[in-house]
Structure 1
Amino acid sequence: MGTIIIPILILGGVGLVMGLFLAFASKKFEVEVNPNVEKIMEVLPGINCGACGFPGCSGYAEAIALEGAEITACAPGGGSVVEGIAEIMGMTADTSGEKIVARVACQGDKTKVGKLYDFDVELKSCATAMLYFGGDKSCWHSCLGYGDCAGVCPVDAIEITEGGIALVDEDKCVSCGKCAKECPKRVIKMVPQSQKVTVCCSSREKGAVARKNCSVACIGCGMCQRACPVDAVEVKNNLATIDAEKCIECGLCAIKCPTNAIINTSREIRKAEVIEENCIGCTACGRVCPVDAIEGAVKEKHKVIEEKCIGCQLCYDKCKFNAIKINVTEK
């Protein structure tokens, strides 16, 4: 019996000593947790998307509470999260930032882009398809449609259409940018959600080649650039680009584009109207109208030709006599 009891007592003693040592060590080397970290964690959305540049929401919360990181880096949380963090940290919140969303700069589904070949094996990712001569679509710059972007989206804001192209639900998008980084073709752009006029193409091929590969490709013809009344459009490397800060969303570039590569998603219809009692017939409005939608001689009451008006508001901005008003209706 003694031979059994003695080892048990020894093991028990060793266990007791180790337990006491660990308890002492945990107290001795305990790292105090800043209470603000936990409070910030409760405010953050908790999707751990990494858009803030830190390893998950916990890493961002620690960076704010312990290192003074910017409180506006959580794109998915938006203004409400900024306000919540500001209250915790005793700071002033700036929620004026505009929401940035992912947008697919490509319309090359199977009805508009041809196929070069069929794979003998089932492909499950765009990255794999890229290994085979850049993919199976006739346009090398086209969305491949195998869903790598949808796979990394933390909020299921991306779907692959039946035509084989990615489509982003901008209301669900949390601005994390993961899809843009994951896309091997780099056809997903992060743009202000308010930007309604978009070049939906990423091809940089010369016009004839681009048109042969895709029926809605930008061919770099420059018609959009010449038509833009505010110089917001520029053609670089055979591809049109729009400066969102300059763009007035008149949609004239989309109207002039011969391949429909530029899309205007605005739900507003804006039309100018002359307030006759204020008009002195200075002709300033007519001179700036890019589509000759205003008629009238000097010192005569002017009139807007509604069918021509594109709602660019240049006449409204130019008139110094409050003789122009802009009527806005929903499409």
Structure 2
Amino acid sequence: MSTLIIVSVVLLAVLGVGFGVGLAVAARRFRVEVDPRVEEVFAALPGVNCGSCGYAGCAGYAAALVRGEAPPDSCTPGGPAVAKRVAAILGVEVGTQVPRRAVVHCQGGLREAREEFEYRGVRDCAAAVLVQGGPKRCKFGCIGLGTCAAACPFGAITMGADGLPKISEAKCTACGMCVRACPVRIISILPSQYRVFLGCSNPVHVGRAMKEVCSRGCIKCRICVKVTKSGAVAWNGNLPKIDFERWTDPDSAVEKCPAGTYVDQRGVGVCSAVPPAAPPQ
């Protein structure tokens, strides 16, 4: 064996030992102590990484919980069960969680909303909205391609025969993934106790112009504001604004709305007092 080979092997061995010792010293010197409870809390979380807690995933939320910077009941997908487990790990108390669910502020289905053109692109709402704001005349309503359903990690959303998303309250965890996935922002999270809400997000079209784009859209008549004696329905300039905590008399608005714009989930999907919309001509 030549002297060059021997020297090379020895040199590599010395370098390897040197680098190993250096890494060991650096690891000890710059080591970051991690509270073992972080891993325990992380294991108790559902691992959806939806961000509904306000942190960048379950790992960030777990770290914030251990630092005392976040309450144990901020994980909406986990619900009360996860909140109790986390509280037990951290030795804190947890309050009563208010059940919430996602709702769709649009009733512009295939029969109600008129189309402006036929879309033949990628079956994705975010892609369709890039083409002249989507195929429907109403540029503020549901596009109907199911991006929200695809985004839901719990299978709580399906697309109905009318082209609108149907949300299963039993499966919905209020994680907010559908809210962020919708490019026209027509989905919101509401406490489950609020059973009536506005089913339109169009702030532009008024009266006949609204009827020409969607038969269920808010025509801006303000009747709901006038008939609501509690004062819980106000006009914010473009659409009715509801103060749910004060809204003890939703029946007046639901029954008097000439377009059937309010969604009533107290037992029947859309207010039965409003006749079905006629197909667009």
TM-score, length of structure 1 as denominator length? 0.72
RMSD over equivalenced CA pairs, Å: 2.3
Give the counterpart letter for 2:215 in structure 1.
Answer: S
Deviations 1:72-107 (A, max 9, x none): 322222222222222222222112x31232211101
In the alignment, which residue of structure 2 is the partner of 1:164? 163
C-alpha separation in 2, matches of 1:138 and 1:103? 22
Q: How does 1:9-20 map to 2 (within 5 A)?
A: 9-20=10-21
In the alignment, which residue of structure 2 is the partner of 1:139? 138
> 1:59 deviation in Å?
0.8
Q: Which secondary structure state, in structure 1, belongs to the residue aligned with residue 217 of structure 2?
A: coil
After alignment, is 122-131 or 204-213 more displaced? 122-131
In the alignment, which residue of structure 1 is the partner of 2:279? none
In the alignment, which residue of structure 2 is the partner of 1:210? 210
In the alignment, which residue of structure 2 is the partner of 1:193? 192
Q: Which secondary structure state, in structure 1, belongs to the residue aligned with residue 18 of structure 2?
A: helix
Q: Which secondary structure state, in structure 2, belongs to the residue aligned with residue 185 of structure 1?
A: coil
8 Å Cα contact 1:41-1:58 kept in structure 2: yes
C-alpha separation in 2, matches of 1:48 and 1:25? 32
Determine which structure has the larger strand proportion and give its number.
1
| 2:179 equivalent to 1:180 | yes
Q: Which secondary structure state, in structure 2, belongs to the residue aligned with residue 189 of structure 1?
A: strand
C-alpha separation in 1, matches of 2:78 and 2:176? 14
Higher relative contact order (CA 8 A, sep 6+): 2
Q: Which secondary structure state, in structure 1, belongs to the residue aligned with residue 33 of structure 2?
A: coil
Larger Rg: 1
> 1:115 deviation in Å?
0.8
C-alpha separation in 1, matches of 2:30 and 2:226? 69
Q: Which secondary structure state, in structure 2, belongs to the residue aligned with residue 116 of structure 1?
A: coil
In the alignment, which residue of structure 2 is the partner of 1:63? 64
C-alpha separation in 1, matches of 2:67 and 2:98? 27
In the alignment, which residue of structure 1 is the partner of 2:147? 148
After alignment, is 66-75 or 197-206 more displaced? 66-75
Q: Which secondary structure state, in structure 1, belongs to the residue aligned with residue 48 of structure 2?
A: coil
8 Å Cα contact 1:44-1:81 kept in structure 2: yes
8 Å Cα contact 2:121-2:128 kept in structure 1: no
In the alignment, which residue of structure 2 is the partner of 1:8? 9
8 Å Cα contact 1:109-1:163 kept in structure 2: yes
In the alignment, which residue of structure 1 is the partner of 2:45? 44
C-alpha separation in 2, matches of 1:199 and 1:68? 35
C-alpha separation in 1, matches of 2:67 and 2:228? 49
8 Å Cα contact 2:147-2:181 kept in structure 1: yes
C-alpha separation in 1, matches of 2:111 and 2:267? 26
C-alpha separation in 2, matches of 1:75 and 1:26? 37
In the alignment, which residue of structure 1 is the partner of 2:103? 103
8 Å Cα contact 2:229-2:249 kept in structure 1: no
C-alpha separation in 2, matches of 1:62 and 1:117? 49
C-alpha separation in 2, matches of 1:2 and 1:138? 83
C-alpha separation in 2, matches of 1:81 and 1:60? 13
After alignment, is 59-68 or 136-145 more displaced? 59-68
Deviations 1:165-186 (A, max 9, x none): 2232232222222322332222
- Gap runs ≥5 in structure 2: 269-281
> 1:189 deviation in Å?
1.8
In the alignment, which residue of structure 2 is the partner of 1:322? none
Give the counterpart letter for 2:124 in structure 1.
Answer: S
Give the counterpart letter for 2:34 in structure 1.
Answer: V
Q: Which secondary structure state, in structure 1, belongs to the residue aligned with residue 240 of structure 2?
A: strand
C-alpha separation in 1, matches of 2:75 and 2:135? 37
8 Å Cα contact 2:154-2:172 kept in structure 1: yes
8 Å Cα contact 1:200-1:262 kept in structure 2: yes
In the alignment, which residue of structure 1 is the partner of 2:256? 256
In the alignment, which residue of structure 1 is the partner of 2:121? 122
C-alpha separation in 1, matches of 2:49 and 2:239? 35
> 1:67 deviation in Å?
5.3
8 Å Cα contact 1:207-1:238 kept in structure 2: no
> 1:261 deviation in Å?
1.4
Give the counterpart letter for 1:42 in structure 2.
Answer: A
Q: How does 1:288-327 map to 2 (within 5 A)?
A: none
Deviation >4 Å, runs of 4+: none
